[in-house]
A = this chain, B = another copy of it.
Amino acid sequence: MIKVKLVGATGYGGVGLIELLLRHPEIEITTLIAASETGKPISHFYPHLAGLCDKMVYAADAHEAEGEADVVVYSTPDGIGMQLAPEEVKKGRKILDYSGDFRFNSTELYAEYATRQGLDTDHKAPELLQDSVYGLAELHRAEIADATVVGNPGCYAVACILGLAPAAREKMIENGKIICDGKTGISGAGKKPKPGFHYPEAYDNTYAYKLAGHQHVMEVERELSLLAGSDIKTTFTPQVIPMARGILATLYGTLPQGVTQEKVLAAYTDFYKDSPFVRVSDSPSSTGHVRGSNFVNLTVACDERTGTLRIISHIDNLIKGQAGSALQNLNIMFGFDEMTGLNLPGAHP
């Protein structure tokens, strides 16, 4: 059994991985670490786990925090993983980090990201950053397999990049500009209560936020530009809708002359033919169809009347957008079939 030490166990991203690993035959969690909710079993903080996972949660400086581990997963905010990872790597452990710490494999790109986020621009582990791999399996399977350090992608970024990757590579985006109109469930903001997420404020309500720039834009532009071989600029409008789980990203670009809906559909089908979690179609889908699972449903729905490339991308923000991608990466990093423990549907309805 591959052993996982999970840092940041008591957030939604942490508990999501715990849930998934409870059904995995080859990977187990050995050690749970958290910042503030410690000293009690994880099932105290998440009672749905009672009897299924009652492991103790320890503080990072507890002596039990050392743990046994083949890999350390950081389900933590920006800035934690890069501080703690070097010591773990010295012990021969692999690293998977959920934050922006290892999504940009150069100190220059990281500094740009940090600037946008108002963070310290100095990366704390530049030597690890250099060889880190962006953990979007559908684009970087081979590098992930060989990586020591993997940076798990942002939830919106997963929906946007997978939604536009084939179009970018096949030059189906005219003039290098795309629009991403994103709608997210509220769990994307984590478990900390805030005024806008208070049930009476959030129900029957929807609103846009971070109009000046969202932290995932840079990943999207980097990955799509790499695929296109030229700059792709993104206008991104994140919006909160009254759901707990799910992202719907409606993606728009200008179709080059002669590119039809049919050609786009064919390109997408081909691009993802070996990606078992991506379901391409020209029919409407819904976030309900991917809720609770690691699937990505892409609807190709170009508007030929107006010459518009239009792709609708559906994921569960906490699975394919977070813990599911993490497990998919772990599977690849340790040589298991990438669907292991993930080839299951969510519960409907």
- A288 B207 Cβ-Cβ under 8 A: yes
Report how far A239 CA is from B284 CA in the complex, Å: 11
Residues of B within 8 A of A193 (CB): 193-195, 197-198
Tell whether A284 pairs with B179 under 8 Å between CB atoms, given A199-B198, A237-B310, A347-B16: no
The stretch of A141-149, A153-161, A245-253 in contact with B is A245-253
Query: Of the candidates B50, B179, B191, B292, which one forms a contact with A198 in the assembled complex, judged by CB atoms under 8 Å apart?
Result: B191
By beta carbon, the residue of chain B nearest A47 is: B289
Contact with B along A49-81 (1 / 0, CB 8 A): 111110000000000000000000000000000
> In this assembly, does A312 line the interface, its C-beta being within 8 Å of a C-beta of chain B?
yes
Contact indicator A288/B250 (Cβ below 8 Å): no
Establish whether residues B279 and A235, one from each chain, have CB atoms under 8 Å apart when the complex forms: no
Q: Would A292 and B347 count as touching, CB distance under 8 A?
A: yes
- Nearest chain-B residue to A316 (Cβ)? B347
Count of identical protomers in the assembly: 4
Q: Taking the complex as formed, is A185 at the interface, i.e. its CB lies under 8 A from any CB of chain B? A: yes
| Complex: A320 Cα to B346 Cα, angstroms | 17
Tell me the bound Cα distance from A286 to B203 in angstroms: 12
Could you show 20 A-B contacts with beta carbons less than 8 Å apart? A12-B348, A19-B344, A19-B345, A47-B289, A48-B289, A48-B293, A48-B345, A49-B345, A52-B344, A181-B252, A191-B201, A203-B242, A204-B245, A204-B287, A204-B288, A206-B241, A233-B306, A241-B241, A242-B242, A318-B347
Residues of A within 8 A of B (CB): 12, 15-16, 19, 22-23, 46-53, 177, 179, 181, 183, 185-187, 191-195, 197-209, 211, 233-235, 237, 239, 241-246, 248, 250, 252, 276, 279, 284-293, 295, 297, 299, 301, 303, 305-308, 310, 312, 314, 318-319, 343-349
